[in-house]
Amino acid sequence: MDRDVSGPRVVVGVDGSPSSYEALRWAVRYAGLVGGTVEAVAVWELPGLYGWSAPAVDMDVDEEETRQRIRKELTDVLGAEAAESVHSHVVHGNAADVLLRAAEGAEVLVVGSRGRGGFAAALLGSVSQHVSQHASCPVVIVRARQQ
């Protein structure tokens, strides 16, 4: 990730869920207040890749297409001007592990309360719970707006 930037780094996990969009908005507002930069991290992992059976999914992931989709998502959520100030990263791996590594030396790590998986009634998702217990920086967990 961008370790050579001056000023506070605000790292935010983005997975397409409503709470991750709220986390992204929160991260941009916070970075504006502290004069920091925002790094949006999207993590992809192939289901079944680490299990005992062979993966039942197409192993070819077009990373450039994924990067373009993330940029469009940032623009849709934040607007074009604000999205330009966000550094985006698409990383392969376990979401919690990637976010913890990305947040090393950061001012704060921001995640949504629940991602795209899990049970609707869960208060915290597994990733937000894991990073809140293991991050080397403060963690902010943001809930999605109530509809």
Strands 9-13 and 108-112: parallel
**pLDDT recorded at residue 121:** 42
Percent of the chain past pLDDT 90, that is, above it, reads 60
- Average pLDDT of the segment spanning 68-86: 94
- What span, in angstroms and rounded, lies between the C-alpha atoms of 6 and 85? 14
95, amino acid identity: A
- What span, in angstroms and rounded, lies between the C-alpha atoms of 24 and 142? 9
Top-confidence residue, 106 or 63:
106
Helix (H) or strand (E) holding 88: strand 86-92
- Average pLDDT of the segment spanning 58-64: 64
**pLDDT recorded at residue 114:** 76
**pLDDT recorded at residue 45:** 75
- Examine the pLDDT at 77 and tell me if it is beyond 50: yes
**8 Å CB contact between 60 and 92:** no
- Reported as a single tens digit per residue, the pLDDT across 115-143 is 655 444 444 568 999 999 999 999 999 99
Least trusted range by pLDDT, from 8-12, 43-47, 85-89, 108-112: 43-47
**pLDDT recorded at residue 119:** 43
